[in-house]
Amino acid sequence: MAVVWSGVRAAVFRPERWENLVADFDFATSLGNARFPNPFLTASGCASSGKELSQFFNLNEIGAVVTKSIMVKPRSGRPTPRMAETPSGMLNSIGLQGPGIDDFLAQDIPWLLEKGARVVVSIAGESVEEYGVLARRLRSVAGLTAVEVNISCPNVENRGAVFACDPNSARAVVEQVRRSLGGELPIIVKLSPDVTDITEIAGEVINAGADGLALINTLLGMVIDIDSMKPKLGGKTGGLSGPAIRPIAVRAIYQVRAKFPQIPILGMGGVTSGRDALELIFAGANAISIGTATFGDPTAIIKVRDETAQLLKERGFSRFSDAIGSAHRG
């Protein structure tokens, strides 16, 4: 989805302020064997492949760009309307619209690498085999930092059941990606909160070879127009994101960190400020993705990054890594 922020005035970013903030603060983090100079990444689907955001800041100023989830073939997406505002959030029903892997590798990846961005490629599929095909294509691409495996997709081989909601299907996808991708690039598996026990799914994908987890994806929701008496979204249902889901993200991250203390976690869900980010970090997130906030302010990720550094320093931290999982101590 290409996003154009018409009429948005970006705040003036002052590099010297950032340099002062990190002069005596180590903001580096890692997800598996992928290292990042700071822990703030874009969220898949909220900035396409970064071209829109590059109008407001240099992409190498953030931890990484997580691309929109890509599939083997081009997709036109779901019927319109595709977005609807909700209290403290929004619903989207984009439907993984995208150019397909061929155009993506030919156009988007070279552009991102030319800009000096660290690149996490998000992949999605309708079958276990499709995930494997995508992983094999990425195996030979130089310059990538990691692969995000978005398993919140319907499995056409299992009557449309979502991979992320079935332990066996989730495990099968990750095993296939691990075999097809090899062992060099870390695999970060994006989990759905629409399950009874997210730690059960987490355990399955970890055992299957995941190097990290992304928590959480959107929640399935619906809004109805009370005048037309019909769903507002063309696809009827959509993914709920924004501040409304942050407490769910904090809970999920906390639960997974408690059960799997060593697994790296990319936290996301309703982060709009440094204070929001601290909640996810203290719950156990090793890094943070910023998504929906960029629709209202394309520089949100920079602002949250700076606020988080300041807040951590005020709390006596000199290394970001020391703050991870603080809510589990004592």
Q: What digits encode the pLDDT tens for the residues 266-321?
A: 999 999 999 999 999 999 999 999 999 999 999 999 999 999 999 999 999 999 99
At 154, is the pLDDT very low, low, confident or very high (cuts 50, 70, 90)? low
pLDDT one-digit tens code per residue, 220-237: 999 999 999 999 999 999
Of the candidates 59, 70, 109, 153, the residue annotated as catalytic is 153
pLDDT one-digit tens code per residue, 105-144: 999 999 999 999 999 999 999 999 999 999 999 999 999 9
Residue 177: pLDDT over 60: yes
DSSP state of 252: H
And the tokens for 196?
């009874």
∠ CA 132-137-141 to the nearest 5 degrees? 135
153 included as an active-site residue: yes
Of 46 and 156, more confident: 46
Has domain 15-320 been given CATH number 3.20.20.140? no
pLDDT for 256 equals 98
Q: What is the pTM of this model?
A: 0.93
Evaluate whether 78 touches 93 at the Cβ level (below 8 Å).
yes
Name residue 188's beta-bridge partners: 148, 212
Evaluate whether 268 touches 249 at the Cβ level (below 8 Å).
yes
At 240, is the pLDDT very low, low, confident or very high (cuts 50, 70, 90)? very high
Provide the residue ranges of all domains of the chain, joining segments of one domain with +: 15-320
Q: Are strands 40-42 and 65-66 parallel, antiparallel or unpaired?
A: unpaired
Residue 213: pLDDT over 70: yes
Alpha-carbon distance 313 to 188, whole Å?
Answer: 29
